[in-house]
Amino acid sequence: MSATKKTLTIGKHTVPYPLVQGGMGVRVSAARLAGNVAKCGGIGLIATAGLALNCDCATGSNYFETDLLALKEELRKAYEIAPDGVIGTNCMVAVSNYDDIVRASCEGGAKIIVSGAGLPMKLPALTADFPDVALVPIVSSLKAAELIARKWNKSHQRMPDAIVVEDPDTAGGHLGEKMENIGNGDYDQYATVRAVKEYFRAKWQLDIPVIAAGGVWDRADLEYALANGADAVQMASRFVCTEECDADMAFKQAYLDCKPEDIGLIMSPAGLPGRALKGNLDQIRAHDIDGNINCRSACLKKCAYRDKRDRFCIVHALDRAQRGDRDSGLIFCGSNAWKANKIETVADIFAELFD
């Protein structure tokens, strides 16, 4: 089916176009971006990580209390832009306040929760009081999808409403694969997409959407994904260089300036590989270690910087980048970020993708 005619239904929520805007923290995909994607007919996601930073609802030194207030405020602002849109959140399993963030997402009106950076085994229990909220795990393998399905069925009599299959060879941000397995030529994203689709059909008699994430930039990539078994795509990096993206212009300019060789893998203090602009890693480490910056947020369940002073404080490095600090800020991106060559609008991208 042509991308221009294919709708997307996840749980009880349907959008005109088979596109999910990927979550990008910290505040790179917040209310303006998610709201405008939803307004144009896709699914807009607010990244929940680090929303307590750079917000107007701070409650003194209580990072976690502020985080919940900030999340609900971003959801409110997104729905002001797209009152009838499908807006959700991206919730990282790796964060310390995962349980509270998921509940706050539901209370704030999120219609969909996409969850990765770990296996979201508790997600059905956390959302039990909100049965209309669609639940979408992120996986990179059939095995991970099988584990989630068996656990959810046994413990909660619940199945995912969709699955995002993320390609670790191309996706940006935190990746759900071991460093040594990324980029070795063994991974086949669309074979995994088809295998996950067939698993849910054969084992559970379910035809749920399987969404391809990573490496999707233009209309040709979208059509290729749909032709090779995906029901929709998740796109993140393409939306950075839009007028509506919540990041500072200097952050966007880093995408416009970068070349393919500027993009590479890093090891996050969270214990996960990530893809980012890697040219300033020494400055990021120097800012935190030489500056004797202590952990101020305790935002991660596992953190090499908090526990061993190794690497850097990732949430504050991401926050500095979002505010425009290209020297000591960490800029996550997908492998295609170098293709950005102009500032456009979300509507421009939808027009290109879907006529």
Specify the pLDDT at position 4.
64
Check residues 309 and 320 and name the one with the higher pLDDT. Answer: 320
pTM: 0.96
Specify the pLDDT at position 96.
94
- Tell me the per-residue pLDDT of 211-231, one tens digit each, with 9 for 90 and over: 999 999 999 999 999 999 999
Q: How confident is the model at residue 345 (pLDDT cuts 50, 70, 90)?
A: very high
Which range has the worst mean pLDDT, 8-17, 49-58, 109-118, 182-191? 49-58
Pairing of strands 13-15, 8-10: antiparallel
Mean pLDDT of 45-69: 86
- Helices of type H across 271-325: 281-285, 304-308, 314-322
Place of tokens 């969909």: 112
For residue 145, give the amino acid letter: A
- Domains (ranges, CATH) in the chain? 8-246+340-354 (3.20.20.70), 250-322 (no CATH)
Distance CA 259, CA 279 (A): 11
SS3 115: strand
Q: Which residues pair with 135 in a beta bridge?
A: 113
The share of the chain scoring above pLDDT 90, in percent, equals: 88
Mean pLDDT of 117-139: 97
- Tell me the per-residue pLDDT of 249-270, one tens digit each, with 9 for 90 and over: 999 999 999 999 999 999 999 9
Whether residue 278 is predicted with pLDDT greater than 90 in this model: the reply is: yes
Specify the pLDDT at position 297.
82
Q: How confident is the model at residue 60 (pLDDT cuts 50, 70, 90)?
A: low
Q: How does the average pLDDT of the chain come out, rounded?
A: 95
SS3 319: helix
Q: How confident is the model at residue 293 (pLDDT cuts 50, 70, 90)?
A: confident
The share of the chain scoring above pLDDT 70, in percent, equals: 98
Backbone angles phi, psi at 312, to 5 degrees: -165, 170
Specify the pLDDT at position 1.
57
Question: Distance of CA 203 to CAs 197, 219, 221, Å?
Answer: 10, 33, 30
Helix (H) or strand (E) holding 163: strand 163-166
SS3 279: coil
CA nearest neighbour of 163 among 124, 186, 192: 192
Whether residue 317 is predicted with pLDDT greater than 70 in this model: the reply is: yes
Specify the pLDDT at position 309.
85
Question: Distance of CA 37 to CAs 238, 340, 352, Å?
Answer: 12, 18, 14
Note whether 82 and 116 are within 8 A (CB).
Answer: no
Which range has the worst mean pLDDT, 21-30, 57-66, 110-119, 319-328? 57-66
Specify the pLDDT at position 62.
85
Specify the pLDDT at position 296.
79
Whether residue 61 is predicted with pLDDT greater than 80 in this model: the reply is: no
Specify the pLDDT at position 314.
94
